[in-house]
Amino acid sequence: MSSRKESENIIFFENRYRPQLHYSPKKNWMNDPNGMVYYEGEYHLFYQHTPHDTKPDFGRMHWGHAISKDLVHWEELPPAILPGEDGAIFSGSAVVDTNNTSGFFNENGSGLVAIYTNDGNSAQNGKPQVQSIAYSRDKGRTWTKYEGNPVLFPMKTLDFRDPKVFWHDESSMWVMVLAVKDRVEFYISPNLKEWSYASEFGSDIAGIHRGVFECPDLIQIQVDEKPDVTKWILILSVGDRNGVNPSDPEPPAGGSGMMYFIGNFDGRSFTPDDTLESLDAIKWIDYGSDFYAAVTWDGIPKEDGRKIWVGWMNNWRYASTLPSKEWRGHMSIPREIQLKTYPEGIRLIQVPISELSQLRRPIISLQDITIKPGSNVLSEISTAKAEIIAEFEIGTAEEFGFKVRTSANQETIIGYSILKEELFVDRTKSNDIDFHPDFAAKHKAPMKPEHERIQLSIYVDWSSVEVFGNKGKAIVSDMIFPDLESRGLELYTLGGELKVVSLQINDLVSIWGNESV
């Protein structure tokens, strides 16, 4: 590595609030993950990117681009798909065209095809959002826009965007799931160029239309890891504006959020397991403010078998006002999606990918100890980024948890209320909170003990916490902006004693490869 490149990496690494465990671009604005695809040994992460400004320029939106061999360490590449006379490049997906159904590749060859929304397109008057495609013959390094674009126009609704495309084996067709304001629409195609309308879902479901739908996904997954039992999950992101019914419930932490439905898909239409009459509660994916527009990777080999995604760690309510200066926006850690059966039914859970374990550097390990109110067995630990894996046995305590990134006047509390059966993150004292009136808040997720125990897996970074409760059943993802010097850590209990069954705390090596700070 040249000395110049070393210098650039150190500057990049030392940006105030720069995530050390999460992907973020070196400069300027990013939002939704796009085009998630695995191809010939590389994971591609495309994303909404304004390369010339730290605020979103929707009229000149690009697809930013990064690649990884392990979903942990990322190399940023030049923007992949650029705006032009066809309009801005909004969200979408990418697929491996294994059988060259598109005809873009050599006979018996394969390549990558991106499907995205052009915003501000003038091909048909009054229909500014259309779907277009581009292809790459060199592993995603360069892209050619299809000369026949656009490949799909809206029938009537102006909000017509964020195509997620996948190959449906049973029907031998490509399926597109599209966000169309208050519903999703399904389209099918034999070749990625010619699309036919198949069905729609969601417009007649009450209570889910506070915000416009965005960034849908549809995946088939095993239930309880049983190969012969599968379900389909329809995933919807719900924006913070332009909803059909503003009185409908907003996401648990306010602003933008994500929900899901479990059911079946026959290649043309999605049928939820819950009837419309029995849908008495929205299934939220994350109870924090900052997990949005998550979509899964296409092309992960069958021998791997996992469904993996990342989300944008931000919220449209305050996204363009974040206190980071050189850039705005970063991704969550990659998570594996699973379906598990509980007494109340099948639920989506998320767990951090196993590849993150390579970053671990053990700090402390404790087992079978009792914590009393007012004590702190972690008082000697100082860290600005960490993985905390803990299991607790409920005793006489009324509340317990961790205070992370602490100093004399700063703290973020990750706790559990036994009385309310709630997991929560309280960032009201996490330092830089004044950039938006809705940022300082306490975010709560319902979570019952399991066998009188609570399990927590926590990822703490320079500007975020991601909390996985009871092995991924309840999630709270929140940005925080403490001073780098705020490195204290506390395990606390209120109202009684707490039994620690096990506790492992690991430092996590920076993914940028420089531990000088």
Q: Please list the active-site residues.
A: 32
d(C-alpha 192, C-alpha 196), whole Å: 11
The single residue listed with the structure tokens 């059988």 is 99
- At residue 354, the 3 state secondary structure works out as helix
Backbone angles phi, psi at 12, to 5 degrees: -60, -45
Alpha carbon distance 407, 488 (integer Å): 6
Q: Are 335 and 306 in contact (CB under 8 A)?
A: no
Neighbours of 425 (CB within 10 A): 28
Question: From the CB of residue 358, how many other CB atoms can be counted at a distance below 10 Å?
Answer: 12
- Beta partners for residue 132, in sequence order: 116
Question: In the numeric block, which tokens belong to residue 36?
Answer: 């998630």
Three-class secondary structure assignment of 294-321: EEECECCCCCCCCEEEEEECCCCCCHHH
Instruction: For residue 150, say if its preceding peptide bond is cis, omega within 30 degrees of 0.
Output: yes
Distances (CA, A) of 186 to 19, 177, 404, 451: 37, 5, 44, 42
**Angle, CA of 157, 295 and 155, to the nearest 5°:** 15
Q: How many CB atoms lie within 10 A of CB 245?
A: 13
Range list of β-strands (E), 208-265: 211-223, 226-242, 257-265
| Cα separation, 315 vs 86, whole angstroms | 28
Is residue 334 within 8 A of residue 310, CB to CB? The reply is: yes
What is the distance between the alpha carbons of residues 90 and 375, in angstroms, rounded to a whole number?
51
87: left (phi over 0), alpha (psi -120 to 50) or beta: left
Rg (alpha carbons) of the chain, rounded to whole number: 23
404: its two tokens: 């992370």
Question: Are the beta carbons of 493 and 399 closer than 8 angstroms?
Answer: yes
In degrees, to the nearest 5, what angle opens at C-alpha 7 toward C-alphas 6 and 8? 90
DSSP code of residue 356: G
Q: Which of 419, 406, 413 is nearest to 496 (CA)?
A: 419
Task: Answer for the pair 79, 143: CB distance below 8 angstroms, yes or no.
Answer: no
The number of angstroms, rounded, from the C-alpha of 81 to the middle of its chain's C-alpha atoms is 22
